[in-house]
């Protein structure tokens, strides 16, 4: 293993501060005509340049902001329809040697109770999640030399090995862990992870250096090239993100877009997903209570809308850091994946006393159960919750997925597959109330099918699920 200080040495910083600053400067006080031209281009679903995204973000005209939101909604509806992918985070370890000023897991936080799940504890946690109906998990880890790539890979195997008494098994494990070297990523690829997720936190180097005070994470370039190394190791679904609140909002969005463009240039495919966590209060972190660049709800909504327009085929992930009401609004703006029923410390799902500030990473804004979230999104907002993992299991990942996504594939395959997984959920896990709301939504969906052949395929499979078959997909 190389020394901390040399990990990223020699790597190119493709996030050019001068370019971003000039794009931001040129975008100041944009002409309404330019904003509307950019929105018209956005509707073609070919994405936007970072400069064009900056223009939308810099617009302060309220009426035009509404047009930005409307455009994002139109794009979201056209590409993703009303399907919404659901997952839960599973914290495996909160032990960490890094010193991130914003995080409750930082090494110097002596008030935090440290926990790392044993294989038995993983089994227990996964059983609880499976019995709630989860099929897709995001495993989350602090960074510690005790826990290397092989150890992480073993935790993935442990998760995949758990089958609960109902129809339960986890069908896709995504990972959010510190950047590894190529060999390490190969080890993760071999155990069949879905997406490798890693957030740059901030693309602004001086801020990055200020908030990452010790440990490997101090190395900006090592982290910046994590997605490249993951791709080199064969992981072609990668998820990037920025932690909003650390630095200027527009700068961070442009950082994300330049990062995405670089991946496209070098690997032929951009990120599978983008996350945009907003800084939440965390034990032992003063900064998390007083973010240096607080992001207002309006700004946050704009981040989601502008990303939807700028990278139309990239999944946008929203977590339970945000409140239930705000999440409902953001769904319309372009979010395509949400976490639900989340708990943010190791062992939380099997802990009867789960609200523990002394162990959790940060406070969640939406503490509803999975069943409550589903009842609300299906019953009140007409979204089809999906646990579909067909693409990943059929090798439709990376570039293949992006190509398919551009041809209406999401509406023709992802939506019916989502309905099939939703039916399974209703049969096996839902409360009576949720079942009622869910069945009504499925009936409305089938009713609306114009393609009679596809309608027949779907209704046949729904009947087979009712008769007891599981895991059917197109
Ligand atoms: N340790 C790994 C890392 O740093 O990449 C992965 C796990 S870390 C717990 C996952 C993410 O949580 C971080 O990338 C950061 O964006 C986010 N995070 C940390 N502190 C937070 C806070 N106070 N509020 C919201 N998100 C936070
Ligand atoms: Fe550790 Fe990650 Fe938290 Fe930083 S963000 S302290 S690396 S868990």
Over the stretch 1-15, which tens digit does the pLDDT of each residue have?
Answer: 333 446 677 899 999
246 lines ligand 2 (CB under 6 A): no
Beta carbons within 10 angstroms of residue 466's beta carbon? 11
Give the angle 344-139-5 at the CA atoms, nearest 5°: 95
Pocket test for ligand 2, best of 105, 176, 178, 284 (most atoms within 8 A of CB): 105
* Ligand 2 atom 6 nearest Cα: 106
Q: What is the pLDDT of residues 374-402, one digit of tens each?
A: 999 999 999 999 998 887 787 777 777 67
283 lines ligand 1 (CB under 6 A): no
* pLDDT for res 403: 72
142 lines ligand 2 (CB under 6 A): yes
* pLDDT for res 6: 60
Q: If DSSP codes are grouped into helix, strand and coil, which group holds residue 386? A: strand
The mean pLDDT of 57-84, rounded to a whole number, is: 95
For residue 395 the two structure tokens come to 């090798």
Alpha carbons within 13 A on the beta-carbon side of 182: 6
* pLDDT for res 473: 82
For residue 445 the two structure tokens come to 């969906």
The rounded distance, in Å, linking the Cα atoms of 243 and 253 is: 10
Pocket test for ligand 1, best of 277, 292, 322 (most atoms within 8 A of CB): 277
* pLDDT for res 167: 59
Contact yes or no for 420/465 (Cβ under 8 A): yes
Q: Ligand 1: distance of its center to the CA of 218 in Å?
A: 14
* pLDDT for res 354: 66
Contact yes or no for 313/411 (Cβ under 8 A): no
Contact yes or no for 172/135 (Cβ under 8 A): yes
* pLDDT for res 356: 72
Q: Ligand 1: distance of its center to the CA of 179 in Å?
A: 13
276 lines ligand 1 (CB under 6 A): no
Q: Is the pLDDT of residue 115 over 90?
A: yes
Q: Is the pLDDT of residue 250 over 90?
A: yes
The mean pLDDT of 295-314, rounded to a whole number, is: 96
The mean pLDDT of 215-235, rounded to a whole number, is: 97
Q: Ligand 2: distance of its center to the CA of 139 in Å?
A: 14
Q: What is the pLDDT of residues 265-293, one digit of tens each?
A: 999 999 999 999 999 898 899 999 999 99
103 lines ligand 2 (CB under 6 A): yes
Q: Ligand 1: distance of its center to the CA of 411 in Å?
A: 32
105 lines ligand 2 (CB under 6 A): yes
* DSSP one-letter code for 100: B
User: Exposure string (b/e) for 145-162, b if CB count within 10 Å is 16 or more?
Assistant: eebebeebbebbebbbeb
66: Cβ contacts below 8 Å, ≥ 6 apart: none
The mean pLDDT of 14-30, rounded to a whole number, is: 98
pLDDT tier for residue 454 given thresholds of 50, 70 and 90:
confident
Q: Is the pLDDT of residue 127 over 50?
A: yes
Strands (E) located in 301-435? 315-318, 337-339, 384-386
For residue 347 the two structure tokens come to 């062992």
Average pLDDT, the chain: 92
217 lines ligand 2 (CB under 6 A): yes
* pLDDT for res 328: 87
The rounded distance, in Å, linking the Cα atoms of 222 and 199 is: 12
- Percent of the chain having pLDDT more than 70? 96
- Position in ligand 1 atom list of the atom nearest CA 105: 9
How many residues are there in the chain?
474
* pLDDT for res 219: 96
* pLDDT for res 143: 97
The mean pLDDT of 208-236, rounded to a whole number, is: 97
The rounded distance, in Å, linking the Cα atoms of 215 and 97 is: 6
285 lines ligand 2 (CB under 6 A): no
Q: Ligand 2: distance of its center to the CA of 141 in Å?
A: 8
Q: Where is average pLDDT lowest: 241-245, 255-259, 414-418?
A: 414-418
Q: Is the pLDDT of residue 186 over 90?
A: yes
Beta carbons within 10 angstroms of residue 120's beta carbon? 9
pLDDT tier for residue 51 given thresholds of 50, 70 and 90:
very high
Q: Where is average pLDDT lowest: 49-53, 59-63, 359-363?
A: 359-363
Q: Which ligand places an atom closest to the C-alpha of 97? A: 2
Q: If DSSP codes are grouped into helix, strand and coil, which group holds residue 247? A: coil
Q: Which region holds residue 234: left if phi is over 0, alpha if psi is between -120 and 50, else beta?
A: left
Segment of 161-165, 302-306, 412-416 carrying the highest mean pLDDT = 302-306
Q: Where is average pLDDT lowest: 105-119, 242-256, 353-367?
A: 353-367
The mean pLDDT of 91-95, rounded to a whole number, is: 96
- Percent of the chain having pLDDT more than 90? 76
Q: If DSSP codes are grouped into helix, strand and coil, which group holds residue 278? A: strand
The rounded distance, in Å, linking the Cα atoms of 225 and 8 is: 8
201 lines ligand 2 (CB under 6 A): no
Q: Which ligand places an atom closest to the C-alpha of 201? A: 1
Instruction: From residue 143, give the alpha-carbon distance in Å to each of 140, 185, 239, 240, 456.
Output: 10, 15, 18, 18, 50
């Amino acid at each position: 293993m190389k020394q901390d200080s040399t990990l990223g040495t020699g790597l190119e910083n493709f996030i050019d501060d001068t370019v971003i600053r000039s794009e931001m400067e040129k975008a100041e006080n944009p002409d309404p005509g330019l904003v509307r031209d950019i929105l018209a281009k956005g509707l073609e679903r070919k994405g936007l340049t970072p400069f064009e995204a900056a223009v939308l973000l810099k617009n302060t005209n309220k009426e035009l902001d509404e047009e930005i939101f409307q455009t994002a909604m139109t794009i979201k509806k056209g590409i993703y329809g009303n399907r919404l992918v659901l997952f839960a985070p599973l914290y495996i370890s909160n032990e960490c040697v890094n010193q991130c000023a914003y995080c409750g897991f930082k090494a110097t936080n002596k008030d935090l109770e440290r926990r790392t799940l044993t294989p038995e504890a993983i089994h227990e946690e996964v059983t609880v999640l499976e019995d709630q109906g989860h099929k897709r998990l995001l495993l989350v880890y602090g960074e510690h030399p005790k826990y290397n790539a092989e150890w992480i890979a073993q935790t993935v195997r442990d998760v995949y090995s758990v089958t609960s008494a109902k129809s339960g098994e986890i069908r896709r494990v995504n990972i959010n862990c510190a950047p590894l070297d190529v060999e390490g990523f190969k080890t993760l690829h071999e155990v069949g992870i879905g997406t490798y997720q890693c957030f740059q936190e901030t693309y602004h180097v001086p801020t990055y250096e200020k908030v990452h005070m010790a440990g490997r994470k101090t190395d900006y370039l090592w982290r910046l090239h994590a997605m490249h190394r993951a791709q080199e190791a064969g992981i072609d679904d990668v998820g990037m993100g920025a932690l909003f609140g650390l630095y200027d909002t527009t700068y961070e969005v442009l950082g994300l877009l330049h990062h995405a463009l670089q991946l496209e240039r070098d690997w032929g495919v951009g990120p599978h997903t983008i996350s945009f966590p907003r800084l939440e209060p965390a034990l032992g972190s003063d900064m998390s209570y007083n973010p240096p660049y607080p992001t207002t709800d309006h700004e946050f909504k704009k981040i989601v809308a502008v990303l939807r327009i700028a990278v139309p085929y990239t999944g946008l992930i929203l977590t339970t850091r945000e409140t239930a009401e705000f999440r409902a609004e953001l769904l319309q703006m372009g979010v395509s994946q949400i976490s639900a029923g989340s708990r943010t410390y190791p062992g939380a799902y099997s802990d009867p006393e789960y609200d523990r500030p002394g162990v959790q990473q940060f406070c969640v804004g939406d503490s509803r159960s999975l069943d409550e979230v589903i009842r609300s999104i299906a019953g009140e907002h007409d979204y089809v919750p999906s646990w579909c993992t067909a693409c990943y299991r059929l090798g439709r990942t990376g570039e293949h997925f992006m190509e398919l996504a551009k041809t209406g594939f999401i509406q023709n395959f992802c939506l019916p597959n989502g309905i099939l997984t939703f039916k399974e959920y209703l049969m096996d896990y839902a409360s009576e109330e949720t079942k009622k709301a869910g069945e009504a939504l499925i009936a409305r969906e089938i009713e609306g099918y114009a393609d009679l052949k596809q309608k027949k395929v779907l209704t046949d499979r729904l009947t087979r699920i009712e008769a007891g078959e599981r895991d059917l997909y197109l």
